[in-house]
């Protein structure tokens, strides 16, 4: 089978298209014929070595397709099932062996491409607004990178809950997308200082929560726009890692809360995974969540997909099609 493998960490150039044997399932695994694989920043972090994994490594932590084989102890999946999964390495390939308890069956009304496009980012948006900081009607959220893959889903979910959404984006095109997703206010951070603008928009009171996937370049000012006892949910670092700081700073700025959550801790059990995935798929079927798959790439163009993602040239979701 064809797969995208790295033998060393580094830039997009370390990704190679290679021929590997089709995996055989262990007793607790199912082998999935991949129809679509999601491209996410966590793949970049794996490729760079920011997140450690044994080498050589087949990249990719999100996929959807059809079960073609199951191990002897598998009971919850059967050959022919349409399934999706995330947080299991190896989806940049034609086939992947996945722990069966991490598979989610794709319901009718949701396509395999949509499932691959929404599982990781949709469940990320879901845990952020329903669990990390449970947004309520009338509260105000600042969402960075609001036209990105998670961003557009976050905006929609926050809007559907009745929260006020202030969105930061880099271009007029992205501003239009964020507005269509339900953002109440847009800040073009390339033209205006988001800290100054957010304070104006909230009459100096600040926002209840900041959902920040950018990290290094936004962190300090994001803390400055929080109301007393507000929360910073730092769920990514697309601009780089945040510098170390003294927690006393949180006291000085109003007894703030800071969390660095990760999806894995919010789908830690099979039950929580099924519930969260089911909620996201339900939103798609009911028309409450609209997906934007901006670009699809053949597997061989994985390097270009990563360059596009890292270059902030994209909105919505990127998929590889093996």
* Sequence ranges of the domains in the chain: 2-119+266-321, 137-260
* CATH of 2-119+266-321 among 3.40.50.300, 3.90.180.10, 3.30.300.30, 3.40.50.12160: 3.90.180.10
Which tens digit of pLDDT belongs to each residue from 169-226?
A: 999 999 999 999 999 999 999 999 999 999 999 999 999 999 999 989 999 999 999 9
Residues facing 321 on adjacent strands: 298
315 pLDDT higher than 80: no
CA dist 25 and 70 (Å) reads 6
Task: State the helix-helix crossing angle for 270-285 and 112-127, rounded to 10 degrees.
Answer: 110
The pTM of the whole model exceeds 0.85: yes
Residue 316 has pLDDT above 90, yes or no: no
CATH of domain 137-260: 3.40.50.720
Q: Which of 121, 29, 114 is nearest to 69 (CA)?
A: 29
pLDDT band at residue 240 using 50, 70 and 90 as cut-offs: confident
Per-residue pLDDT tens digits for 56-76: 999 999 999 999 999 999 998
List strand residue ranges (DSSP E) for 135-216, in order.
140-143, 164-169, 185-188, 207-212
Is the per-residue pLDDT at 280 higher than 80?
A: yes
CATH topology agreement for domains 2-119+266-321 and 137-260: no
Minimal CA–CA distance to 134: which of 209, 202, 185, 222?
209
User: Helices marked H in 191-267 — which ranges?
Assistant: 194-201, 219-224, 248-252, 263-266
């Amino acid at each position: 089978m064809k797969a995208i493998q790295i033998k060393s960490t580094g830039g997009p150039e370390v990704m190679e298209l290679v021929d590997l044997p089709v995996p055989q399932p262990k007793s607790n695994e199912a082998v999935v014929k991949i129809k679509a694989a999601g491209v996410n920043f966590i793949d970049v972090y794996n490729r760079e070595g920011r997140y450690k994994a044994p080498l050589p490594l087949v990249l990719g932590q999100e996929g959807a397709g059809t079960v073609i084989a199951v191990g002897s102890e598998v009971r919850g999946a059967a050959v022919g099932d349409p399934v999706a999964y995330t947080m299991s390495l190896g989806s940049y390939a034609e086939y992947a062996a996945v722990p069966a308890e991490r598979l989610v069956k794709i319901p009718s009304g949701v396509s395999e491409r949509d499932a691959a496009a929404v599982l990781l980012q949709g469940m990320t948006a879901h845990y952020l607004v329903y669990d990390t900081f449970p947004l309520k009607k009338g509260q105000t959220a600042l969402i960075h990178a609001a036209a990105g893959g998670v961003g557009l889903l976050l905006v929609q979910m926050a809007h559907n809950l009745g929260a006020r959404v202030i969105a930061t984006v880099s271009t007029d095109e992205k501003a239009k997308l964020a507005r269509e997703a339900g953002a109440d206010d847009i800040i073009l951070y390339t033209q205006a200082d988001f800290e100054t603008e957010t304070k104006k928009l909230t009459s100096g009171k600040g926002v209840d929560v900041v959902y920040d996937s950018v990290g290094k370049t936004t962190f300090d000012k994001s803390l400055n726009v929080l109301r007393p006892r507000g929360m910073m949910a730092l769920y990514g670092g697309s601009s780089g890692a945040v510098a170390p700081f003294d927690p006393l700073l949180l006291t000085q700025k109003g007894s703030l809360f800071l969390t660095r959550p990760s999806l894995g801790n919010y789908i830690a059990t099979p039950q929580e995974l099924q519930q969260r995935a089911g909620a996201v798929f339900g939103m798609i079927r009911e028309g409450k969540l609209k997906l934007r798959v901006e670009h699809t790439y053949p597997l061989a163009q994985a390097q270009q997909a990563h360059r596009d993602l890292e270059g902030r040239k994209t909105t919505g979701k990127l998929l590889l099609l093996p």
